């Protein structure tokens, strides 16, 4: 039997009653059977097959007889970079495909640069060495260069002299053509993957009636803040006045030691239970995003509970007639007034700015765990910083400066793995844009649906 040496890669997280921590990545080596062979009288054989779609690097090939390896060889998989399309106006989504990524710390990540500007990081743990990410064309009309190279967050620039010289990258050319892009923002959510674990932060048996047989369901179990959903419970044994509450947390991750947040219960409704069932429509609070629990309580005892996932949303700025002026984008109000502070400094809605103007980007439903409390921001495919929505209860207003020549400029928000407070050892790929978050991200297996958010502004004279 011929065997092919490969690996399994996965993200590691710690799901707690009031948070989720990112603990890094894990790789496990294994051998898989390729096929049975039969040798001739001289012990020779020929086997022909296709190289599988797999992690890159060196793969051990063993000839095994009766469970014992009697011969050993190897095959080295190199990397390829391709893009599609290869031309288009500013704002064109460009898909970058990078194959042959490895299953070890120094080979599992790659950095993407647009004209030497750092756009973000990509991984392929769950996609077995093949990463696909999307960046948007930015810059002046003409040829631009997309560079993809081996990286632990940032490019390893002399990889040829490293212990992994086969971790080569590649360069592709994209031509920006004339055209007027739309300034309407949009969000790209990952597919609705089925979570592989049943644990949810804020979902705990603490306080749950140990004798309850009640089962709770929601008519809708995900959506943005202010979504309406109907909570229904069957099998109730207690009657009388009950409360429907929203399980959440309050706190922050700045200048703190230990745990810097606490459980917080937000009242949703009061219901009178007269039998074994109850049904009540509630509105999801304008608060933190991510996983939460709606609980049916009598006093301090939880009779039934069901999980709801709060998705991120772009704040819409409306005129006095309720018509949308802009989505997310406004010129900053630097007056320092109470009204300005309440809006996070967002001022006059517009997509047009002069160079040097202060831009605000307003989002709701930002979470609080290390998977969803922070968003990385790129301007014309250059990573410039991040914003956090924890301390502000899910309402995040990012401030950046309009720069560049007159014309259209891209602003993109990407998921980020927060690796500060608490900080754990061996947590690579932290604090930078994760461009592959829709296909390969620690939160996907837990049911987190973190979008990439895309804006376009125009610089005018």
CATH number at residue 128: 2.60.40.10
Mean pLDDT, residues 223-233 taken together: 98
Last residue of a domain, one of 310, 341, 369: 310
The residue range of the domain holding 161 is: 80-176
Mean pLDDT, residues 325-336 taken together: 97
Does 206 reside within a domain?
no
Give the per-residue pLDDT at 28: 94
Looking at the structure of the chain, the number of domains it has is 4
Give the per-residue pLDDT at 195: 78
Average pLDDT of the chain, as a whole number: 93
Last residue of a domain, one of 266, 284, 310: 310
**pTM metric for this prediction:** 0.92
Q: Are residues 161 and 231 in the same domain?
A: no
Give the per-residue pLDDT at 257: 67
What pLDDT band is residue 263 in, cutting at 50, 70 and 90?
confident
Q: Are residues 306 and 328 in the same domain?
A: no
Please enumerate in sequence order all residues whose Cβ is within 8 A of that of 16, keeping only pairs 6 or more positions apart, or say none: 201
Q: Are residues 435 and 322 in the same domain?
A: yes
Does 151 reside within a domain?
yes
* pLDDT tens digits for range 44-78: 989 888 888 999 999 999 999 988 999 999 999 98
Does 193 reside within a domain?
no
Question: Is pLDDT of 18 > 80?
Answer: yes
CATH of the domain at 285: 2.60.40.1930
Does 68 reside within a domain?
yes
Does 208 reside within a domain?
no
Give the per-residue pLDDT at 176: 98
Give the per-residue pLDDT at 16: 84
Mean pLDDT, residues 121-125 taken together: 95
Question: Is pLDDT of 259 > 70?
Answer: no
What pLDDT band is residue 245 in, cutting at 50, 70 and 90?
very high
Q: Pick from 16, 65, 18, 12: which is nearest to 38 by CA?
A: 65
Last residue of a domain, one of 286, 310, 334: 310
Does 111 reside within a domain?
yes
Does 443 reside within a domain?
yes
Question: Is pLDDT of 256 > 90?
Answer: no
Does 186 reside within a domain?
no
Give the per-residue pLDDT at 254: 81
- Give the whole-number percent of the chain exceeding pLDDT 90: 80
CA end-to-end distance (rounded Å), the chain: 71
Q: Are residues 304 and 351 in the same domain?
A: no
Q: Are residues 383 and 421 in the same domain?
A: yes
Give the per-residue pLDDT at 258: 62
Question: Is pLDDT of 415 > 70?
Answer: yes
Mean pLDDT, residues 332-341 taken together: 95
Question: Is pLDDT of 202 > 80?
Answer: no
Q: Which two tokens stand for residue 425?
A: 């050892």
Give the per-residue pLDDT at 423: 85
Q: Are residues 417 and 386 in the same domain?
A: yes
Question: Is pLDDT of 182 > 80?
Answer: yes
């Amino acid at each position: 039997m011929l065997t092919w040496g490969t690996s399994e890669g996965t993200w590691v997280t710690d799901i707690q009653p009031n948070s989720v921590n990112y603990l890094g990545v894990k790789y496990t080596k294994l051998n898989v059977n390729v096929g049975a062979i039969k040798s001739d009288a001289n012990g020779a054989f020929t086997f022909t097959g296709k190289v599988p779609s797999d992690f890159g690097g060196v793969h051990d090939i063993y000839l095994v007889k009766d469970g014992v390896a009697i011969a050993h060889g190897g095959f080295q998989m190199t990397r390829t970079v391709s893009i599609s399309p290869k031309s288009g106006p500013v704002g064109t989504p460009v898909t970058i495909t990078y194959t042959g990524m490895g299953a070890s710390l120094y080979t599992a990540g790659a950095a993407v640069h647009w004209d030497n500007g750092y756009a973000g990081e990509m991984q392929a743990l769950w996609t077995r060495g093949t990463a696909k990410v999307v960046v948007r064309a930015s810059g002046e009309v003409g040829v631009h260069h997309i560079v993809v190279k081996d990286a632990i967050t940032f490019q390893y620039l002399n990889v040829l002299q490293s212990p992994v010289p086969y971790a080569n990258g590649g360069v592709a050319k994209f031509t920006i053509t004339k055209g007027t892009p739309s300034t309407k923002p949009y969000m790209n959510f990952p597919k609705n993957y089925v979570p592989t674990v049943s644990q949810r932060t804020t979902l705990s048996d603490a306080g749950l009636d140990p004798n309850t047989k009640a089962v709770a369901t929601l008519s809708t179990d995900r959506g943005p803040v202010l979504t309406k959903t109907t909570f229904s419970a069957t099998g109730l044994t207690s009657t009388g006045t009950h409360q429907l509450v929203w399980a959440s947390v309050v706190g922050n991750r700045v200048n703190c030691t230990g745990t810097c947040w606490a459980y917080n219960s937000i009242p949703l409704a009061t219901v009178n239970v007269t039998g074994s069932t109850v049904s009540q429509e509630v509105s999801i609070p304008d608060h933190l995003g991510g996983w939460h629990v709606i609980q049916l309580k009598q006093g301090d005892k939880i009779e039934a509970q069901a999980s709801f996932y709060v998705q991120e949303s772009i704040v819409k700025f409306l005129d006095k007639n309720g018509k949308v002026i802009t989505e997310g984008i406004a010129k900053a109000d630097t007056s320092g007034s109470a009204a300005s502070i309440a809006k996070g400094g967002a001022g006059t809605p517009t997509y047009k700015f002069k160079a040097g103007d202060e831009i605000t980007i307003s989002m709701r439903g930002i979470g609080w765990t290390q998977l969803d409390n922070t968003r990385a921001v790129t301007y014309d495919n250059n990573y410039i910083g991040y914003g956090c929505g924890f301390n502000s209860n899910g309402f995040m207003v990012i401030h950046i400066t309009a720069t560049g020549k007159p014309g259209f400029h891209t602003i993109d928000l990407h998921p980020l793995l927060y690796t500060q407070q608490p900080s754990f050892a061996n947590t690579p790929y932290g604090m930078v844009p994760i461009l592959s978050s829709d296909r390969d991200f620690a939160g996907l297996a837990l049911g987190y649906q973190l979008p990439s958010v895309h804006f376009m502004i125009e610089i005018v004279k």
